[in-house]
Structure 1
Amino acid sequence: MNKTKQLLSLTLFFLCLIGYAQQSVKGKVTEKSTGEPLPGVSIIIKGQVKGTETDFDGNYEIKNVKSSDILVFSFIGLQTQEVSVGNNTTINVELEDSAQVLDEVVVVGYGTTTVKDATGSVEAITEKEFTKGNIVTPENLLSGRVSGVEIRTSGAPGSGSQITIRGGSSISASNSPLIVIDGLPIEENSVAGSRGVLANINPNDIESFSVLKDASATAIYGSRASNGVIIITTKKGKSNYTLDVDYQYTFGEVLDRVNVFSANDFRNIVQQQRPGDVGLLGTANTNWQDEIFRTTGSNLINATVKGGILGFIPTRLSVGFTSQEGSLLTSQFDRKNVSLSMNPSFFEDHLKINLNYNRNFEDSRFADTGQIGAALRFDPTQPVRDASSPFGGFFEHRNGSNLLNTTKNPVAALLLANSTGKVFRHFGNLNFDYKFHFLPELRAVLNLGFDKAEGETKFTSSFNYGRAADLALLFAGVNSSGFSERSNRLLDGYLNYKKEFDKLTLDATAGYSYQKFEEFGGTSGNILDPASFADTFAATDVVNIGFFGRLNVDFLNKYLLTLNYRRDGTSRFSANNRWGNFGGAAFAWKLTNEDFLKDSDVFSDLKLRVSYGLTGQQNLPNVNDVYLSRYRFGNQNSLFQFANNPIRAIIPSVINPDLKWEETTTLEFGLDYGLFNNKFAGSINWFNKVSDDLLFNAALPDGVNFANSVIQNIGQLEINGIEFSLNGDILNTEDINWNFNFNATYLDREITKLANGQDVRTGGTAGGTGNTIQILREGFAPNSFHVFKQLYDSSGNPIEGAYADLNDDGVINDDDRYLKEDPAADVSLGFQSNFNYKNFDLSFNLRANLGNYVYNNVNSSRAQLALLQDNEVLGNIPSSVLGTNFVNTSDVINSDIYLENASFLRMDNITLGYTFDRPIRKFNKNSLRIWAGVQNVFVITNYSGLDPEVFGGIDNTIYPRSRNFMVGANVKF
């Protein structure tokens, strides 16, 4: 009997333990630095997929939790925390910033993962890691931050950037990555009057970037993913009311100049070289570069309100104003933005709705960048103004009222012309995410998106310099306009199923995507010129349809497998080539979850990855529908007479019904690591990309088509690369936090096949007609420089027009040109440091390129003594001519003497700030941060031009970057 009682007692005891173990845990998750609740925080039981998310007030509840379980709290950009359940029924957690990135959430195509669980090459950059400074367009938040990503931006205000990931994948088609904003893939091209497709987006509205680089990660986007994918996530609403106001003022100045002769030096060299033209010299002392460049002032203001509407709709409303002066006279960029995000949830968080809407207004005044070259050429002994001049009181070279056919006054050309652009753009999406009540492992997601932009341009000028021979039209001036409209509509829908089966976890996604692009526009011609025609166009609609799926398998939390597939159809190609199949596979092995590394004091995370995939490229150069029979009107030079009326000719356009997309296969091996409890973390990747059926505008035999060239699928490009990244916490104490990011990329690009093995000339240069300095050739990097080998005399001075006879045929001709270097850097480096001491913060960014070359076309086309005569007048030339004493441009234009190593080290930004906690005591939560900084701090390079970063590697004058001094304040309530 006693034994029976003891058995019953033990049974009841264990039943109580079991009942107690299956408890519920509630709590609230907040951000430590602000105290604000965090919606959307992932809470899972460690080693399982079972879990939940916080609601928009940061609250959560997770049921059937054992006392021995560990809860894992993770949120994008914040340090993941693990908390043992024990006897607790309420667990409140504060998440804080960290440089540790392995636990950060990464947004991938149609879903999310963490860096620790990613099988492909992906990187997440959040707001705390953004590049700082005078950031006007959002892509520059990434500058220097991600291995394999290169961003080049000119000095023009609000200018767009050239973005490449892992060197791109094409030769003449687009090399820009696909950009996705809140699930909406956006178009690469912008409307009339815009400075770029991202120019009218406010960087203040960006929460994070996810960069997808390898094919296993990008294949979910199929035919548009060969150049990588950048996913932009915008900021969302919160229930607690907050007010943020940011202000920034920037003072900028272009410090460097192209070295041309000063007025006095110009008089001396004219006396030496052209004594018969001394009478053409003036009496002024004008530095024309100083006259066209100016100091600038710019303002950025952002105000953001967050809070709950009707008690259950977390909302964010943001308003931004940007006014940026360009350093070139008359250049100006203004932008106004309104952004709204509403994020309610219903049915106990089973249905989540995200509404994002952005309304943007872009106003620009464009300065003619050709006047930078004119400032180099114009006679420095002539004045800017001439009271007797009929050309607005500006000095011009003229014979009475007849304008001489020579370089025009650059200041007059800038001030007397008014080229403006206005753009209205609004875009957004409505996302429904429903977790089924009867099957919570299954979610249905519907995403509806749109992007519509309307742009117009206007150009007026007091004088039509292009019609100088006709005085009536010259003094009539120019009055022209243009407009265009683009729209982009999206419907995405997919199902996601995620469930744990004992030792196996499955995460499966399947969906459908429909996207349509439309475009039309026109130009007025010069309405003051009877011979000028108005014109309109309507581009063929582009429709993309995709069926996609992804399967993630996690076995024992050690072995990870990802399979991606997408079947894409596009209206850009004919029915025979319209559909394509793209996909990828990746496998990862978490070595630190194996017994032999589980207790390692060195390796806190170690994961091996291998991936392979096929992606596509369908962005055709300047045309959507080359497979269709198309006809266009000719211009005023294509007329025929019918009776007494001139009739515009109708011209058939070139056609290629066999065209299809480029295809890129990528093989990658990677290692993700975390050291010393993730104090240091990063990755090492080796990849091989091979692009086939390259889209290229290649020559045609005479008479077989309606042009002598057409876009064709020819050639093959191979890119091999190595990437390395390291993130670390150097110091992390109560008062001091110092972290850094370092990344390095090595790229080797080679053309492995061209049509018929024939070279293709590229890289047109100034200084003659039809000159090229680059070439595409099998076995070499794209756009390698094609130059003559310069010969020198016994004193080391270059001999004009003397080149090496490389083929030993006794004749110096084009066959003696050789390939030397290319514009792309062999190695790119980035370094960012953030240091905080109590309320002080200091950050800076460094970037470096090694092995990139630039052809100095400023010198090759201008630094020759014969150019001291500019038709009937005198013209200035670069003072570098004194180092060569070259006379004629045509004799030296292709010499390798003008090819320069443009490797550089640049400090992009440095900022210093101080934060006042609760400066207004009547409010519980408020802060004021004041800061100052410098942008474009220094550049160390041996390149003799203004800037070693040149689009395409040919420097024929650029819009220079100014050095900017910035002050700002951030107020939070």
Structure 2
Amino acid sequence: MKRKLPKLLMALGAISLALEPAMSQDLANRAFSGKTENPSAYSEQREPLQHALSTLQEYFKVNIIFEDSSIKGCFTSIDVNSLKDLTIEEALAELVSPLGLRYKKVDEKNYIIKAKKVINKVKNEELESIASSYSTIIATPVKGHVTDKKTGEALPGVSISIKGSSLGTTSDVNGDYTIDVPNESSVLVFSFLGYKPVEITVGKNSIINPELDMESHLLNEVQVVEVGYGTQKKEAVAGSVATISNERIKQMPSVNLGTALAGNTPGLIVAQRGGAPGSEDNSILIRSTSLLATPLIVVDGVARTNASYTNQVGINDIDPNDVESVTVLKDIASTSIYGARGANGVILITTKRGKESPAKFNFSSSTTFSQPTKLPKFLDGYQQALLENERAINSGATAAYSDADLEIIRTNSNPDRYAQTNWAEQGLKKFSNGQNYNLNVTGGNDKMKYYLGGGLNQQKSLLKIDNDFKRYSFISNLDAKIAKNLDVSADINYKLESANTPNGGFGGLYGQLFSQSPLQPVTFSNGLPAAFLTSAQNPVYAAQNGGYALTESNFFTGKIKAKYTVPFVKGFSAEGMLSIDRSTVFNKNFSTPFKLYRADANGVYNAVTGVDAKGNDQKPTLSEIFNKSSFNTKNFSLNYNRSFGKHSVAALAMFESTEAYGERLQASRSNIFSNKTDQLFAGDANITNTGLGYETGRAGYIGRLNYSYFGKYYLEGSYRYEGSTNFPEDKRWGFFPSVAGAWRISEEGFLKNNQHFINNLKLRASYGMAGDESGSGYSAYQTGYSVASTGANGYIWNGAYATSVFAGTSTINPNFTWAKVRSYNIGLDFELWKGLLSGEFDVYNKQAYDLLTPMFTSSATVPLSFGAVAPKQNQGKTHTNGFELSLTHRNQITKNWGYYVTGNISKTKTIIDFSGEVAGLPEWDVNRHNELGANVDRFYKSLGLFQNQAEIDAYPVDQDGQKNKTIKPGDIKYADLNGDGILDTKDVYVVDNSTIPVVNYAFNLGTSYKNISVDLAFVGAADYTNNNLAQTWANFDERQLDRWSVDNPDASWPRLSTSGNNTKKSDFYGTDGSYLRLRSVQLNYSLPKMFIQHLGLDAFTVFVQGGNLLTFSKVKFMDPENNNNWGYYGPQRTFAMGLNVKF
């Protein structure tokens, strides 16, 4: 009995500890809940707790999540207005603690209200069980760290209980916990509001680190998305807005952020044109098929540049590892707040910031290998010679190669005369390689939070020479609470880029490699480099000996922002921001002459390049260009956010100004005395130099008002009154308003109470207007000045001769102003079966008018009496129609196995309605010769191939201007579209899908099982014409094998000849450019935490990735995205392997 006494005392102590919260809870309930026994004892005005929490939520701009059952029937007598001087944590504590509730802070924006653990009573039969196991409880502690499965971040406030008992605890602010368990068969239950519960059997584990998945049907209720100059809950967004997460971005093995965005949301069109190191050359558009409609790039709230500008930080200068999310604003109602620069859509890039936690490090490293997705397949030397002979005979000339020559070529018996050169193999490596490293650290407390990161990216080229691209990056984002109501953030971003390429760049050398005959040798048998017979070129030797082109770029961006919360006006705050961009770009081109040789009839090798007319060696030339640019942005705003019962209002008033200025200095010298001395001083005394400068500015008054009623109805109106120096002084200002509304149908009683499978159903509509300054600028109404020499006497100026004048260079239009763009958008968002199926559907129309185009097009002749070129004026018109659909299905089959499938499709087409007056052209052809139609192509209409001479004689259309005397069987037959009997440029028709596909689609799928995950992303395009144009090069490719002959009348290629008839740009060569591409594949394996926790690591993941691995297309000659640019460093197929470590 004595032996049992200590054990019994311990048990009684444990019971008393268990009962204590229950007794305090009971007292709290009696004193403060709506169920008090004597409510008349309190004379204060009481308010439902739910209303009080809603008021705090709106005032502090946070999300407060609670279970209805935990606060049902709870009232508070505390005046919520009295809490406005407190922090959100202090206010919540004062409000909920007296009610027996507690709050937990998830992060800066999310708080959870939960009931405290209550044990109302312990059954008598449990007493012996507790007493018998209490010593075991003390002896078997289990600890661990709870994280969000998706983000890997710690989860504080998670409830951890032992299944079947009332024992439990919660995770602390760092997500850590410790709990005593009775035995190995105990099951721990981890539960957290908004997350799926997880049950884990203890077994022999002393450390258990669970990962919790958020309930997908709750995402809309807590997700906050970036909008112009602020954030909104996803459920409140009325415009067309899409967010791309960091997880999706990192699945593409590319250091180029623009490339990684492809296929992630409908309406965002990313065409990968090239793959040169450091310059993947993407065309990025939003709801447009016009290459002139580039979207605005905004980084951390600051408008930086458009997607194609190179002198300011752009989308390709942001390290994807530092990106938290990317938000795409598609409709004008969402973008008009950015004024003219947002007329073509806006891409908001949000970088990572610090969070309240101990320092957390993240290191990633990867190695990449790249090769072209597609290389042209050219014929060998013998096939080349046979086809050259056929072409010559068909053109009425003598065969280029005799039978003896053909035998030499076939046997390769005289390679100095006739080689068998595969130029791609001679000039290109099988693979290029690269390395990527990134290290970042995040952490902080309630006073200071930080995110610091640095990265190194290095890429080699495919050419068999030592050139590469390097990028060093650094980012620092700091957030500090200076005082109770004052928050300050300071951001720094620095990039240093260095690109070393052959002189002339990659494009020129690629063009030469793919346009040379295989019969030309690279070097002769004596080692001398050979010059082509058709041109004095040799791309292999030029890459190695022709010099270099060096580009060094420095980009610095800095931003400081302060927010003051006005204590005496609830919901009112003021913010100020100053941002600076500084960039310097230095270009150095050093051209070194080299000798190429040809053999004369006597077998003597003579230099045909690298020497002057007297046979002296030529000297190098050097040019240097230095660009310096500065961009400054500052704004000041007043913000108001307040709830009044069921009504919520938010308002923004802002003034913003930006200025940009830059200078350019260029100098060059020739006759540099040595190939080893690449400096300007080493050249001759006659230096060529020039320079220029520019300065622009803009200012805007911005306003936005949001109203919502009961979380069901949302209305938003905004405007921007903007002025720009790009217009004449009295035409600089424009007013651009927008309005949008949303109705959450799923919150209506007739759905919410009856159709439980519908979690979210929202109808959206918007209308907006924006300015457009494409084609404008100071140079548009006053193109600049030049110093002109006037001869010996010069102009008479103020009674005297002036030998030179500072004069304008063109005519001036002082009356042009903003172009206008208006759009309409209707959308539907839905989520069904608790997130099993969700999606969005949008239809839209966009109209642009008063666009700046030349008064007369370049094809028209301005009357001579005018005496100059006509200026631009507001006259162009275009319209764009389209729709977008995205669907997502996610399912968690078991605790360890889940999968997802997403898909999206968009159709958009921009039509040019009017661009300018054109003399002598039919109305349908007006838009061929204008600045609006850069994406428009023109084709002749083909009617097949002539099969015999009788068919040619009977055809009434004169195709060659000689009554078809030069037309032969096998030539292309063209349609006379205007019916005048003559084939000329008036017979072409407009093709508007040869640059950007009209239909773009993508689908992604992935699955995860325990520590393994696989993700695949496909992108595709349709309604796209690829111009498989007739070859005009010195070599033949596999397409010409299916040429017309009497024995092959159904050929896909016309007869071989030098006739210009078959080289016209026509739809005969127009190939269906539709494609489906496996854009990315990623396989991840995370080592079990039981293996790495002893090393002090939070996570260790290895991965392999692939980019552009498979392509399905009818375009066989080149990559379908390459847009017929054969002389170009095309898109790359990439393989990567790497690791990610968190500690």
TM-score (norm 2): 0.72
- C-alpha displacement of 1:802: 3.3
Alignment of 1:501-650 (within 5 A): 501-528=644-671, 534-599=688-753, 600-620=755-775, 624-628=778-782, 630-632=784-786
Correspondence for 2:908: 747
Correspondence for 1:894: 1065
Conserved 8 A contact 2:255-2:320:
yes
Query: In the aligned structure 2, how far is the partner of 1:342 from the partner of 1:133?
Result: 29
Amino acid across the alignment from 1:308: G
- C-alpha displacement of 1:459: 1.0
Query: In the aligned structure 2, how far is the partner of 1:353 from the partner of 1:262?
Result: 67
- C-alpha displacement of 1:195: 11
Alignment of 1:223-372 (within 5 A): 223-238=340-355, 239-254=357-372, 256-270=374-388, 272=390, 273=392, 275-277=399-401, 282-294=417-429, 295-308=431-444, 312-330=447-465, 332-348=468-484, 350-366=485-501, 367-372=505-510
Amino acid across the alignment from 1:334: K
Would you say 1:43 and 2:72 are equivalent positions?
Answer: no
Conserved 8 A contact 1:589-1:609:
yes
Cα pair distance change 1:253/1:500, threshold 3 Å? same
Conserved 8 A contact 2:637-2:652:
yes
Correspondence for 2:1082: 911
What secondary structure is seen at the aligned counterpart in 2 of 1:303? strand
Cα pair distance change 1:435/1:167, threshold 3 Å? same
What secondary structure is seen at the aligned counterpart in 2 of 1:362? strand
Query: In the aligned structure 2, how far is the partner of 1:471 from the partner of 1:44?
Result: 87
Correspondence for 1:946: 1118
Query: In the aligned structure 2, how far is the partner of 1:190 from the partner of 1:56?
Result: 44
Q: Return the match for 1:880 from 1039, 1043, 1051.
A: 1039
Correspondence for 1:838: 1010
Would you say 1:660 and 2:789 are equivalent positions?
Answer: no
Q: Return the match for 1:175 from 293, 297, 302.
A: 293
What secondary structure is seen at the aligned counterpart in 1 of 2:904? strand
Alignment of 1:66-77 (within 5 A): none
- C-alpha displacement of 1:477: 3.0
Cα pair distance change 1:693/1:472, threshold 3 Å? farther
Correspondence for 1:35: none
Cα pair distance change 1:308/1:69, threshold 3 Å? closer
- CA-based RMSD: 4.2
Would you say 1:438 and 2:571 are equivalent positions?
Answer: no
Alignment of 1:5-154 (within 5 A): 10-11=38-39, 42-43=63-64, 61=92, 63-65=94-96, 102-103=220-221, 104-130=223-249, 132-153=251-272, 154=274
Q: How many residues are treated as equivalent by the alignment?
A: 905
Query: In the aligned structure 2, how far is the partner of 1:68 from the partner of 1:216?
Result: 46
Conserved 8 A contact 2:1076-2:1111:
yes
Query: In the aligned structure 2, how far is the partner of 1:617 from the partner of 1:150?
Result: 20
Query: In the aligned structure 2, how far is the partner of 1:362 from the partner of 1:190?
Result: 17
TM-score (norm 1): 0.84
Query: In the aligned structure 1, how far is the partner of 2:425 from the partner of 2:250?
Result: 31
Amino acid across the alignment from 1:499: R
Correspondence for 1:422: 552
Query: In the aligned structure 2, how far is the partner of 1:758 from the partner of 1:703?
Result: 14
Query: In the aligned structure 2, how far is the partner of 1:748 from the partner of 1:552?
Result: 32
Query: In the aligned structure 2, how far is the partner of 1:842 from the partner of 1:58?
Result: 40
- C-alpha displacement of 1:791: 3.5
Q: Return the match for 1:412 from 541, 547, 554.
A: 541
- C-alpha displacement of 1:860: 4.3
What secondary structure is seen at the aligned counterpart in 1 of 2:971? strand
Query: In the aligned structure 2, how far is the partner of 1:812 from the partner of 1:112?
Result: 59
Amino acid across the alignment from 1:552: N
Conserved 8 A contact 2:275-2:1130:
yes
Would you say 1:850 and 2:1005 are equivalent positions?
Answer: no
Query: In the aligned structure 2, how far is the partner of 1:195 from the partner of 1:407?
Result: 39
What secondary structure is seen at the aligned counterpart in 1 of 2:353? coil
Query: In the aligned structure 2, how far is the partner of 1:20 from the partner of 1:674?
Result: 30
CA radius of gyration, larger in: 2
Cα pair distance change 1:878/1:924, threshold 3 Å? closer
Q: Identify which range, 298-307 or 271-280, moves more after superposition.
A: 271-280
Would you say 1:375 and 2:375 are equivalent positions?
Answer: no
- C-alpha displacement of 1:58: 10
What secondary structure is seen at the aligned counterpart in 1 of 2:358? coil
Query: In the aligned structure 2, how far is the partner of 1:471 from the partner of 1:578?
Result: 60
Cα pair distance change 1:854/1:19, threshold 3 Å? closer
Correspondence for 2:622: 479
Q: Return the match for 2:1135 from 940, 965, 969.
A: 965
Query: In the aligned structure 2, how far is the partner of 1:904 from the partner of 1:773?
Result: 31
Amino acid across the alignment from 2:511: G
Q: Return the match for 1:818 from 989, 1005, 1027.
A: 989
- Deviation by residue 1:201-231 (Cα, 9 ceiling, x = unmatched): 2111111111111111111111211111111
- C-alpha displacement of 1:705: 7.5
Query: In the aligned structure 1, how far is the partner of 2:613 from the partner of 2:314?
Result: 39
- C-alpha displacement of 1:251: 1.2
- C-alpha displacement of 1:553: 0.4
Query: In the aligned structure 2, how far is the partner of 1:196 from the partner of 1:706?
Result: 42
Correspondence for 2:202: none
Q: Return the match for 2:936 from 776, 779, 783.
A: 783
Amino acid across the alignment from 1:155: G
- C-alpha displacement of 1:381: 2.3
Alignment of 1:925-944 (within 5 A): 925-944=1097-1116
- C-alpha displacement of 1:972: 0.7
Query: In the aligned structure 1, how far is the partner of 2:434 from the partner of 2:775?
Result: 37
Alignment of 1:686-835 (within 5 A): 686-697=843-854, 698-699=857-858, 701-702=862-863, 708=869, 710-731=871-892, 733-756=894-917, 775=928, 783-794=936-947, 799-800=970-971, 802-820=973-991, 822-823=993-994, 824-835=996-1007
Conserved 8 A contact 2:457-2:472:
yes
Conserved 8 A contact 1:790-1:895:
no
Cα pair distance change 1:676/1:369, threshold 3 Å? same
- Deviation by residue 1:911-948 (Cα, 9 ceiling, x = unmatched): 11100144443355521100112111111000133111
Amino acid across the alignment from 2:983: I
- C-alpha displacement of 1:507: 0.5
Query: In the aligned structure 2, how far is the partner of 1:896 from the partner of 1:19?
Result: 74
- C-alpha displacement of 1:167: 3.6
Cα pair distance change 1:166/1:619, threshold 3 Å? same
What secondary structure is seen at the aligned counterpart in 2 of 1:677? helix
What secondary structure is seen at the aligned counterpart in 2 of 1:799? coil
Q: Identify which range, 439-448 or 776-785, moves more after superposition.
A: 776-785
